[in-house]
Structure 1
């Protein structure tokens, strides 16, 4: 597939150049499904939890789409007919197993290393805003040798509100030292793009992430859509 930058119908232009591109002074990422492919670890933890309860395991590719929406979404996708109490028990087991396997198979998406190298080389600050709990997010980023490169790592429990609320977004903006209007936020879920819009950031859909067939991502509020991280890099080079 050819890397594509897909501007939304609302993207403004001056003299044929996107004014938004020239505004980007910082980049923030969602974690699961945007910066890092964490689905292998999450589905492994899910299958260990399902095994604990004598339930059948799931194939990674059949359930990958749910990985961006948290542990309960994975349980719901795997066992939609269980009652809430049963799902909660499996979710707790999943989290316990995930603590042990976190980072075991997770890796940056193809092309992401080049994008991060460009950001570092151009002294464009970057960071993460995720709804993932800090006890999982920070060890993962340390394991990937990214934590020390990010002035902002905002987790689901860093503020009293989580995405799509603007509070974690604004905290990250203050930590990287860039106004919200100068930040591109990349995410692969509706709440990510709503969070970007709610905080006056530019929103970019990470189409390489965990977007399901029924998600209707084209309806999410956004300024850009990207097929790959390389497409983000190409946009930044235009600036």
Structure 2
């Protein structure tokens, strides 16, 4: 993982939406001018879409199949960004690997059926996407989620046709934090990596952004656990809400 930010300055946390432009230092504004944002890419689970309700429902259906107790959404949503096995591990850490794999397969079978039933854009995300459309800033998704789940979800949310780039975990031979899927998405946006903002809520997302020379933004509204220490992840920005991203883009 490259340690530099790609901008020659220390990481910058974007200000909340009610923060005045004058609160941002002059040298930070100069840095933004040097690297204009011409495209935006999103992680899917926990960044663009709140998919935890569907994932935890599928998990609980699988747990029920094996006579195990269910988990509450709030107690386990932090694991939703890390995939189906992470959810199983969070719910039943003491099971052996074979038992976990069996429950994981049950989760995936149920998720295929419930995918998109309760998933919603995070608050403020619709306004951000509307701004991107209005400003003709291309956007898309880079996720480690398999295409058989990612694409139907985006179609159900009526987003797929708006995205020139939808890169899933099986779109390339390497997944995040490897730069391969990021660079493929950049080519599909027709924007150089250095002018793309990538938003994610997991360490691998920000590592992927850094490894591909994109600007990295931490989506603090996502599935970040209390022990994740997100402030230590490589990043250029930190955003409390999607509206904070919108405010940054308006400044640029």
Range of TM-score over shorter length: over 0.9
- Give the corresponding residue for 1:19: 31
RMSD: 1.4
- Give the corresponding residue for 2:54: 41
Match for residue 85 of structure 1 among 98, 106, 124:
98
Superposition TM-score, scaled by structure 2 size: 0.90
Runs of 4+ in 1 over 4 A off after TM superposition: 11-16
Q: Distance in 1 between matches of 2:130 and 2:187?
A: 22
Number of residue pairs matched by the alignment: 232
Residue 35 of structure 1 and its aligned partner are, at CA, apart by 0.0
Question: What are the ranges of 5 or more consecutive residues in structure 1 without an aligned counterpart?
Answer: 1-7
Residue 20 of structure 1 and its aligned partner are, at CA, apart by 2.8
Matches within 5 A, 1:113-124: 113-124=126-137
Match for residue 97 of structure 1 among 110, 114, 118:
110
Kindly indicate whether the alpha-carbon contact (under 8 Å) linking 1:40 and 1:60 is maintained by their aligned counterparts in 2. Answer: yes
Kindly indicate whether the alpha-carbon contact (under 8 Å) linking 1:20 and 1:202 is maintained by their aligned counterparts in 2. Answer: no
Superposition TM-score, scaled by structure 1 size: 0.95
Kindly indicate whether the alpha-carbon contact (under 8 Å) linking 1:13 and 1:19 is maintained by their aligned counterparts in 2. Answer: no
Q: Distance in 2 between matches of 1:179 and 1:81?
A: 45
Question: What are the ranges of 5 or more consecutive residues in structure 2 without an aligned counterpart?
Answer: 1-8, 13-23
Residue 238 of structure 1 and its aligned partner are, at CA, apart by 0.3
Q: Distance in 2 between matches of 1:20 and 1:42?
A: 37
Q: Distance in 1 between matches of 2:170 and 2:44?
A: 14
Kindly indicate whether the alpha-carbon contact (under 8 Å) linking 2:197 and 2:215 is maintained by their aligned counterparts in 1. Answer: yes
Kindly indicate whether the alpha-carbon contact (under 8 Å) linking 2:202 and 2:224 is maintained by their aligned counterparts in 1. Answer: yes
Q: Distance in 1 between matches of 2:219 and 2:42?
A: 10
Residue deviations 1:130-172 (CA, integer Å, cap 9, x gap)? 0000000000000000000000000000000000000000000
